Amino acid sequence: MSQETSQTAETQSLTLVQAVRDGLYGELSRDDDVVVMGEDVGENGGVFRATQGLIEEFGDQRVIDTPLAESGIVGTAVGMAAYGLRPVAEIQFMGFIYPAFDQIVSHAARLRNRSRGRFSCPLVIRAPYGGGIRAPEHHSESTEAFFVHQPGLKVAIPSTPTDAKGMLAAAVRDPDPVVFLEPKLIYRAFREDVPDESYTTPLGEAAVRREGTDVSVFTWGAMTRPTLEAAEDLAGEGIDCEVVDLRTLSPLDEETILESFRKTGRGVVVHEAPKTGGIGGEIVATIQEEVLLYQEAPIERVTGFDVPFPLYALEDYYLPEPARVKDAIRDTVEF
């Protein structure tokens, strides 16, 4: 069932984290080869309760509590995927994913190429990511660019409950590894009517959240909401913003990015990761290479800063918020 046809189905009002849980439940029910694994995902139901109740429903052979060893979690999952299972491995926080980096980039991402197609790696690595929840050190990273840079990986980041369920289902069914990053700042920020039935939202397709004619604003994850808020505020000033939620960073939906920029001639990129080496630079470069002659102003980037993610008192100053986004849009439009 595609997301478009699913809109006539029965729905329930879910938060984003509830939609993740619903997506996992649906895939475990649909395919006996799907297993969920990670630290505290079973009896405790996950640190954010994204797997709550799954072990009672599917048993401890399919919802597996693992040791506190991220390299072991992902390494085991790679082997399981190579031999026919579809593991969904949870890393409790993105800041804990680095011990597993070798397994992800040296093995999961390369298995199909290394074996010349004899093996694939249908593996999903879930991780809550990003700041804004007053967490300790190593709990607020937004380092998605590490994984976008690695060929062989898909990188998906939902910003709504409906997309979270549909994109997670698509990731589980994908024949290759997907790093599925969940913006924990909006885990419980709002609710949305989500179809009860199983459906997929295709990876690699951006969503235009707001159509406009004056400037294209590209964003993803938790930054979609402050970007939309800024766009609505600026409408009162006569600035008509188009907001594009990229949803998947690898593969990047270049067609939608370029189509939007051709229409507006101006662009702003908003992401919470540090500016240097961030995906914003890749988006700007793609626009320069492909549609330079449509450009009417420098493309602005509104990002986190090139510093370690700060603790509580400075967290709100680090994250892009509507005022910073509006200033960048005004500068671009008024250039």
47 burial (CB, 10 Å; 0-12 / 13-18 / 19+) is: middle
Residue of 138, 139, 149, 271 with catalytic role: 139
Q: What is the Cα–Cα distance from 317 to 323, expressed in whole angstroms?
A: 11
Is position 139 annotated as part of the catalytic site? yes
Residues 241 and 211: beta-carbon distance below 8 Å: no
Q: Where are the alpha helices (DSSP H) in 126-253?
A: 144-148, 161-173, 224-235
Q: What is the dihedral of CA 258, 261, 263, 267, to 10 degrees?
A: 170
For residue 234, which amino acid is it? L
**Cβ density class 155-170: b for 16+ within 10 Å, e for less:** bbbbbbbbbbbbbbbb
Residues 199 and 165: beta-carbon distance below 8 Å: yes
Catalytic residues: 139
